[in-house]
Amino acid sequence: MEPTSTTTGHLIETSKRFARRLLTIGANRLELLMVEMQEERERLLLALLLTLGVAAFGLLAGIAFTGAIVILLWEVSRVAALLALTLLYGATAACLYRRLNLLLHNWQNFPSTLNQLRKDRVCLEDHLT
């Protein structure tokens, strides 16, 4: 009877250690996820504020530039000046739109957390097989 109780006790102790390690790993991954969420939130807020600043001051600069060009070319050709500025602004908007699409296409949420979870899964599979 002695070997059975020793084996059972060893199995229980091993199961407890495994459960503790699993909980520790889960807690670490949750902390990593929370840190990454905080970083993403701060990065998104900064990006939003910078975008608003660029848009506001870009609009002001565009208005001032448009006014200066139109006044400068008033006697030569008002329509040609406005069409040239329209093409310039349209090309700039198209370039910015393309960059925005590239940014959104390559955006990754929580890459470190997902990478760690993948590594944990591989490690767990190696230990269980």
* Distant-in-sequence, close-in-space partners of 73: CB < 8 Å, separation ≥ 6: 80, 81
* Distant-in-sequence, close-in-space partners of 110: CB < 8 Å, separation ≥ 6: 33, 36, 37, 40
pLDDT at 114: 77
In the chain, which stretches have pLDDT less than 50?
1
Tell me how far the alpha carbon of residue 7 is from its chain's centroid. Answer: 50
pLDDT at 81: 84
pLDDT at 1: 46
